[in-house]
Amino acid sequence: MEQNQSYNVKFFSGEEIPLELHKVRIVQKLNLIPIEERLKAAVEGGFNTFLLTTKTVYLDMLTDSGTNAMSDNQVASMLRADDAYAGSQSYARLEEAIKEVFNCKYYLPVHQGRAAENIISKVFIKPGDVVPMNYHFTTTKAHIELNGGTIFEIYTDEALKVKSQHPFKGNLDIAKLNDIIKKYGASRVAYIRLEASTNLIGGQPFSIANMREVRKVANEHGIIIVLDASLIGENAYFIKQREAEFKNKSIKEILHEMIGLADLTYFSSRKVSSTRGGGICTNNLQLHNRMRDLIPLFEGFYTYGGMSIREVEAMAVGLAETLDDTVISQSPSFIRFMVNELDKLGVPVVTPAGGLGVHIDAGTFLSHVPQSQYPAGALAAAFFIVSGVRGMERGTISSVRDANGNDVLADIELLRLAMPRRVFTLSQVKYAIDRLHWLYRNRELVGGLKFYEEPPVLRFFGGKLEPTSPWPEKLVAKFRADFGDSL
């Protein structure tokens, strides 16, 4: 399926690896502390990887958000920042980049992705409205619900299958979309939301063919389409790899095609171009004007939107670099390598490889841990203890409780290992694969978790948990027996 990997090289031995097409010129020291200290850190952090300090973390695979490596040109651009509250030349350069990369005439700057979600939800959602989408993102759902809307996830049957060959698991189910419009009436559909490289189902893309079908339905009913473009570069890359019509198109042409099919596009620049910030773009002046007044109210003046001018400069350069195949393919190539290796070793992993990171199927990995004892959270904690690699729980801990206080069990229990762009070397990735392999062979030693401190909102960020039995100590003892005094 995926030929044409300009980023991969074949060795004489036949092995194929993703090659780094960059050199490392600034480095940051990392620590790999002994497993006993990692266990101590896990206990202190309530077995929640969000509560670890980076002093105890070896490879930080929590997220790619704000952690991608910047290019030399991005860093250099910050020095020419034209600091001004209004009318900065740095902002003019950013607008130019937005026009070139996204082909959008009108742009509103915001300080990060969820700020765009706040503004879009405030303007377009009224109580009782519904928002059909391929899948939610945590902050998106929260903003829509805060404004009285209800989300409907209308993914295809393939989307939640862990093992799949489907190239576009992020597609929206058109029949379900028609059903929702019929049931609620077009006037109650605030907008249709499409998320590029759908985050919570494993960074899975949608196709342009699917987007065209969504556009057709939207046109029939006069509904607008909102595109979450936080991971759009990767989605465009997968379209080039997997959708025959676009095989010979440039990333820029694909981006323009995608954005041309949406009415509004918003993004988190923390993902798109490694800087804080984000924005809302459109070619529809009427829609733009409906949101414009909220920018100075919630973000900052129209020409900085809550970002520092240095970030504005670096964002402009980072956006333009998104068009470079060797930049945009770096993270997906490393992810694919890791997914393929884990798959060969029998470790249950979401396939096909997507964007953002590697997603381990914790439900299968720890099939002996009941979902009520949070297998994805337990796996995240266990993996940190045995490796110093920090991932993120994307399962029931990231969900909520219902009105009766019972956990709303997640559709899938995932451990996400994010692959920030150009941050890790292949030997670091191989280390992560090895420790995960070892953990899989010793999986029966891992038990469940229970909350002892549980915030009522977004509990996964600050909640604290403890093991349901002394399994972490057993895991450490087995590690020592197998690895001796190795770190």
What span, in angstroms and rounded, lies between the C-alpha atoms of 56 and 423?
18
**Which of residues 137, 168, 334, 451 is near ligand F0G by CB under 6 A?**
137
**Which of residues 5, 139, 340, 371 is near ligand F0G by CB under 6 A?**
139
Distance set, CA 63 to CA 68, 110, 347, 391 (Å): 9, 20, 21, 8
Name the active-site residue from 93, 271, 336, 422.
Answer: 271
63 binds ligand F0G (CB under 6 A): yes
The length of the chain in residues reads 487
Q: Is 271 one of the catalytic residues?
A: yes
In angstroms, what is the minimal distance from the CB of 464 to ligand F0G?
20
What span, in angstroms and rounded, lies between the C-alpha atoms of 129 and 192?
11
464 binds ligand F0G (CB under 6 A): no
In angstroms, what is the minimal distance from the CB of 230 to ligand F0G?
4
Pick between residue 65 and residue 156 the one whose CB is nearest to ligand F0G: 65
The answer to whether 363 touches 413, Cβ cutoff 8 Å, is yes
348 binds ligand F0G (CB under 6 A): no
**Which of residues 56, 77, 112, 235 is near ligand F0G by CB under 6 A?**
112
**Which of residues 95, 129, 173, 228 is near ligand F0G by CB under 6 A?**
228
**Which of residues 199, 333, 351, 396 is near ligand F0G by CB under 6 A?**
199
Name the active-site residue from 10, 85, 434, 482.
Answer: 85
What span, in angstroms and rounded, lies between the C-alpha atoms of 134 and 159?
9
Determine the residue with CB nearest ligand F0G. 113
What span, in angstroms and rounded, lies between the C-alpha atoms of 111 and 269?
9
Strand 389-390 and strand 59-60: pairing?
Answer: parallel
* Binding residues for ligand F0G, total number by CB under 6 A: 15
371 binds ligand F0G (CB under 6 A): no
Q: Is 411 one of the catalytic residues?
A: no
The answer to whether 449 touches 466, Cβ cutoff 8 Å, is yes
Q: Is 85 one of the catalytic residues?
A: yes
What span, in angstroms and rounded, lies between the C-alpha atoms of 397 and 56?
22
241 binds ligand F0G (CB under 6 A): no
What span, in angstroms and rounded, lies between the C-alpha atoms of 17 and 358?
16
In angstroms, what is the minimal distance from the CB of 52 to ligand F0G?
15
170 binds ligand F0G (CB under 6 A): no
The answer to whether 407 touches 372, Cβ cutoff 8 Å, is yes
Among residues 225, 238, 165, the alpha carbon closest in space to that of 198 is found at: 238
Q: Is 290 one of the catalytic residues?
A: no
278 binds ligand F0G (CB under 6 A): yes
What span, in angstroms and rounded, lies between the C-alpha atoms of 171 and 173?
7
Strand 449-453 and strand 278-282: pairing?
Answer: unpaired
Distance of CA 333 to the CA centre of its chain: 16
What is the maximum alpha-carbon separation in the chain? 67
Pick between residue 278 and residue 472 the one whose CB is nearest to ligand F0G: 278
In angstroms, what is the minimal distance from the CB of 113 to ligand F0G?
2
The helix (H) or strand (E) run that includes residue 123 is helix 113-124
Q: Is 334 one of the catalytic residues?
A: no
Q: Which residues are part of the catalytic machinery?
A: 85, 137-138, 228, 271, 394, 460
Residue ranges that bind ligand F0G, judged by CB under 6 A:
63, 65, 112-114, 137, 139-140, 195, 199, 228, 230, 268, 270, 278
